[in-house]
Structure 1
Amino acid sequence: MDKFFDFDRTVEALQYGFVQDALIAAAILGVLAGVLGPLIVSRNMAFSVHGTSELAVTGGAAALLLGVGVGFGALAGAIVAALVLGLMARKGSEHDSVIGVVLAFGLGLGVLFLWLYPGRASNKFGLLFGQVITVDRSSILLLAVCAVVVLAALSVIYRPLMFASVDPDVAKARGVPTGVLAPIFAVLVGVATALGVQTVGALLVLSLMVTPAAAAARMTASPLRATILSVVFAEVAVLGGIILSLSPGVPVSAFVTAISFLIYIGARLYSRVRVAA
């Protein structure tokens, strides 16, 4: 039986073009997830990210069925989901229930589309658990363009969005358009989430979009330092997860989630030691 981790086999795998493409895509995704993550955590949007990622599967499944690019389908599905959730869940009291309703409907459609799809089962499972071999140069180009657009848009709205995230009532009283910022940010998160589906899969994209930021929030209260740490943690998780998955051939999401969880546990221990000191 092969060793669970074979260094020579991993080094050999790193020479393949598709693996290098996957690492480039993962690095871009890590930056996006790391920058957006602290805002997601501060705005209590973890469940929303989960719902958006699941509905990205619906868009990807529809794309498989129609014979078009899965990345474009997942992107379209996530954007539509983000808009619907951002517009329908404006009241905090109904936020979770709206996400649950839309999520259930979208998953039902996704299951139907996957059942109707006559192609290989690996394509279906790739939407759920990630598949690095599906990342090619066109996927990298789409990811890079979307990342630039998301980061550029975020740079414009960052300050009022941060204000609205920390104290929404005061921000609204000061004239910050919180009703407009919410759906805009939801769309930006939807784009990043959809791009993560192809790399780590929809079921576990939450670990990359939320866990590194949650760990960073445990270590510092500074928004800038939290963002930097979040990016570093996300990069370690996604790049490390891909590299560790090469030798045993295990789905990359298993390692990404494990690394993210260990980082989070370490951050919690650090915060306890710091408080005790």
Structure 2
Amino acid sequence: MTHDIWGELFRFDNYAELLVLVRNSIIAGAVLGLTGGLIGVFVMARDMAFAVHAISELSFAGAAAGLLFGVGVVEGSLVGSLAAALLIGLLGSRARDRNSIIAVLMPFGLGLGILCLALYSGRAANKFGLLTGQIVAVDNPRLTALLIICSIVIVGLLLVWRPLMFISIDPQVAEARGVPRLAVSILFMVLLGLAVAVSVQIVGSLLVLSILVTPAAAALRVSASPVVVPLLSTLFAVVSTVGGIMLALGGSVPISPYVTTLSFLIYLICRLLGWFQNRRQRSRRPELLGATT
């Protein structure tokens, strides 16, 4: 029984031949990891981890509606993500308002998506893939769309990096210095909505946090540098997505458990490293105090 389960998870027969078939997925995973790693830094800085989940629920609803009405999964996912992002950005300027809006959007998006899937009479794999991702779902048109959207997100982040970081760290001072807080925040929410929409195509709506939140959270456990954290976050996200795809290729289960497991293991390792760093600093503090006296 154990051997059968292990074989379902990891089976590497004819692996080289299968690897060619998921070339698009590997490229998509690497680009998605780069995008998620960068935008995840601001998600953590602005304390918006659950906003990502709310946007993913509306993205799922939009994708399910696109599947039901035949307008396209990618198009529907984009509409749902952007609608949720704009609602949160416009109405949730304060943390209390944002939390209540998220609590309203999450069940609504999930319920609407389930309704659309229940009415859809097509392949069951398409329904399941919206929730958990599909490793072979990235054809050439979808890869092109993903590359374009991720490029828009990355370029947009680079253009507003400094004012966005300023607002994320100290919004009152940034606004007093003349930084257009609302405009920059709305732009960030649009970029976040785009990132969530493309992430849903790979790992599914239920597990999008593993790309857009966990890598950045792991990076913040081992560094506070404004340069090191984005680099580590990007590295962790790319390793999780590409590594998850490579492992899923040898099994017969969806891609998402591999991606989420790798992301979680990286977080645990970083948390342990951060704990050792803090313990070492505390142990050295009495020595430094003794030296100064």
The two structures have a TM-score, normalised by structure 2, of: 0.91
* 1:132–1:198 Cα contact (<8 Å) kept: no
Cα deviation code 1:212-248 (max 9, x no counterpart): 0000011111121100101100010001101111112
What do you get for the CA RMSD once the two structures are aligned? 1.2
Q: Residues 100-179 of structure 1 correspond to what in structure 2 (within 5 A)?
A: 100-179=103-182
Query: Which residue of structure 2 lines up, in the alignment, with residue 6 of structure 1?
Result: 11
Where in structure 2 are the equivalents of 1:221-232 lying within 5 Å? 221-232=224-235
Alpha-carbon offset, residue 111 of structure 1? 1.7
> 1:51 corresponds to which letter in structure 2?
A
In structure 2, what is the Cα distance between the partners aligned to 1:154 and 1:114? Answer: 34
Equivalent AA in structure 2 for residue 196 of structure 1: S
Distance across 1 between alignment mates of 2:243 and 2:14: 15
Partner of 2:214: 211
One-letter identity of the residue aligned with 1:117: Y
1:216–1:230 CA contact under 8 A, matched in 2: yes
1:110 CA drift (Å): 1.4
The structure 1 residue matched to 2:261, chosen from 258, 261, 264, is 258
Q: How many residues align?
A: 275
Q: Which runs of 5+ in 2 are unaligned?
A: 281-293
Q: Match of 2:55, as an amino acid?
A: T
Equivalent of 1:83, from 71, 82, 86? 86
SS at the partner of 1:133?
A: coil
Q: Aligned partner of 2:72: which letter?
A: G
Cα pair 1:10 1:243 within 8 Å, conserved:
no
Of 45, 60, 64 in structure 2, the residue corresponding to residue 61 of structure 1 is 64
Q: How far 1:92 sits from its partner (Å)?
A: 1.6
Q: Flag as ranges the 4+ runs of structure 1 deviating above 6 A.
A: none
Secondary structure, aligned partner of 1:132: coil
Q: CA deviation at 1:137?
A: 0.7
TM-score between the two structures when normalised by the length of structure 1: 0.96
Counterpart for residue 283 of structure 2 = none
